[in-house]
Structure 1
Amino acid sequence: MDDNGDKKLDKYEFGKGFREFGCELTKEEVAELFTIFDRNGSGFVDFEDMLCTLRQPMRQCRKNLVLMAFQKFDKDNTGKITISDLRGVYTAKHHPKFISGKMTEDEVFGEFLQTFTQSTKPVKEVKWEEFFNYYHGISCSIDLDVYFDVMMRQAWKL
């Protein structure tokens, strides 16, 4: 659908994509769907918008586990995890790049935080929504709640 390769869809590409897949929609229907898919109101639908709109809602028991993990890090209850929040909860001392001297502890923490975002730039914090979206994506690939539960509890020592 992304004809110009800019990794996002404008209204024209969005509507054209539906037509190419055999969905004949009116301009009004395309506009309504575009508004739903353009979750951040940017005027474009990017890959994250597409995924977030198409995946099914996460079950409450899974949301609770993700929230528990987030709260384990968000010590000051700001709704975001920062590098300072990671100190004392996450250690960089065993990270290969820290051991080799290629990265400082803060750089290791920044790399860790980067995991949860779509940003290509270095990050110093992760908001709840980013953390949740990361685990929402993972949740979609795990069929049973019990497996998701075990994964979260073991990964975050909950």
Structure 2
Amino acid sequence: MCKLLKEMFKNIDKDNSGTITLDKLKNGLAKHGTELSDGEIQQLMEAADADGNGLIDYDEFVTATVHMNKLGREEHLYTTFQYFDKDNSGEELEQALKEQGLYDADKIKEAISDADSDNDGRIDYYSEFVAMMRKGTAGAEPLNNKKRRDVVL
């Protein structure tokens, strides 16, 4: 990943100055097909420019890129949660897992119980679902031994 980030930085830093200006950022994003308004690019620049000098150096670039990737992962988790929790009750995850037929009822109840930290019988997104997904399903063997990538939701 480090090599990829270096290449990305070099592709934007065309004059090899070691910094990215607002204009370089605009050009680099446009070259990669990213369609952002000038205001959005300015906000991105300000967010990445940790020392406030109007330039993004390599360390700031890496930090901002890693942060953006983390936000993207959080967004995917939220989308997954919404897929299962159609009525926003926090109570549908157990039923959805049963419908997928991946785990037996006891394993599902155990996972839900472990994740339900406030013992209200529901899994809320912010504290419980995210914690459950970060923890993973170590030790839980799928009922039909499908690999995760073979399962289509």
Q: Could you say which TM-score interval applies, normalised by the shorter chain?
A: 0.3 to 0.5
TM-score under structure 2 length normalisation: 0.34
Q: Name the TM-score, length of structure 1 as normaliser.
A: 0.34
Question: Which structure shows the higher helix fraction?
Answer: 2
The answer to which structure, 1 or 2, has the higher relative contact order (CA under 8 A, 6+ apart) is 1
Give the structure with higher Rg (CA): 2
